[in-house]
Homo-oligomer: A and B are copies of this chain.
Amino acid sequence: MKILITGGDGFCGWPTSLKLASEGHDITIIDNLSRRLIDTELQSNSLTDIYSIEERLVATKKQNWNINFYNEDIKNYNRLFEIVVQTNPDAIVHFAEQRSAPYSMIGEKQRRYTVDNNVITTHNILNTIVDFKKDIHLVHLGTMGVYGYSKEFGEIPEGYLNVKINSTQKDVDILYPTNPGSIYHMSKSLDQILFQYYNKNWNLKITDLHQGIVWGTQTEQTKLNPVLVNRFDYDGIYGTVLNRFVSQAATGNDITVYGNGGQTRAFIHIEDTAKCIQIACENEPKNTDKVRIFNQVAEVKSVKELAEICSKSYNGNIKYIDNPRKELSKNELEVNNQGLKSLGFNPITLSNSLIDDIKFVALKMKSNLKKENILTSPKW
């Protein structure tokens, strides 16, 4: 298939681009390299030494993978449209969104950047599809965070909730009542409204994948050549929780848990992120009655459980600190992930061997870790 990947230089976008290319798909990446620029803004860094996009592309050629690259900001509608017309893709995979909740809560600039960037990029892609070719399949990376963590709603279904309207006693499926916990998560709730309307009015073919928190750094493909290595964020802004914990433990720092660690969340390994996107691309929705929504998650754990796993394996000390986030201190969580499973997704779950993988990277790259970047989350 011909697949256009927006944001294909980022933490999820890069390994997904490699995975799809390694499976024989014809890949075009559009990326404005904004994630690299944000490193400069935050004086943060990837624990792994990531290579320039030019070096990365040379390394993909050596693997005989077919990846083209455009250094463009898809907020520029005309440029996006030209590239889509030129590429004529079967599917567009959309990663070109600011993806950190803490970043989106730093201040007004970051709040506005996150909303402007995420709404405009998504809307530009939808407009391109409407005006160029309506049967391009749009695959979007959503977030489990659109659901929030209400106990009243039972197991989290895949996008749609079955309710009885009390005034009419009718049973209907509605888009799950969104309850985001940060500006970032809110931006994905906005995306959902765009998808719902564009699907309704123009019958667009859309898959929205509500992903859990990603852990891990390397995939089968990124391991093939050091130049292909993926990002590893360990800081308080972009580092995801398990990666932060492992890098803290591996470098002799305290494992810092926000609050009591009772927050229960859904997780997925980076290898599975790429695999699920592949499954979504290769299995288009059968009809366009509604937006297809899958939960892209492997398993559910509490933050405390994660901390304890890291503590036991690596003799790390757990330190409970004030939670900078506004969230329930403790919640239960059950998540339905039958959609992707029914299409062949066989989740990788937390295992010592895979955590050892991260630890190996963290230890090897220890000298890159700036301790002052570990506790940088803004309070909200």
- Taking beta carbons and an 8 Å cutoff, which residues of A are in contact with B? 77, 107-108, 111-112, 115-116, 119-120, 123-124, 127, 130-131, 152-155, 157, 161-168, 170-172, 174-175, 177-180, 183, 186, 189-190, 193-194, 196-197, 200-201, 326, 380
Contacts and interface: CB of A to CB of B under 8 A. Distances in A.
A114 to B, nearest CB: 10
Contacts of A119: 115-116, 119, 190
Task: State the 10 A-B residue pairs at the shortest beta-carbon distance, nearest first.
Answer: A154-B167, A163-B163, A174-B177, A164-B164, A154-B168, A186-B197, A108-B127, A152-B170, A162-B166, A189-B193
B180 A155 contact: no
A161 B153 contact: no
Contacts of A115: 119-120, 123, 194
A142 B259 CA distance: 38
Nearest to A111: B127
Contact of A171 (B124, B131, B166, B194): B166
State the oligomeric state as a number of copies: 2
Contacts of A108: 77, 127, 130-131
B162 A326 contact: no
For A153, A175, A380, which residue has the most chain B Cβ atoms within 10 angstroms? A153
Nearest to A193: B189
Nearest to A155: B167
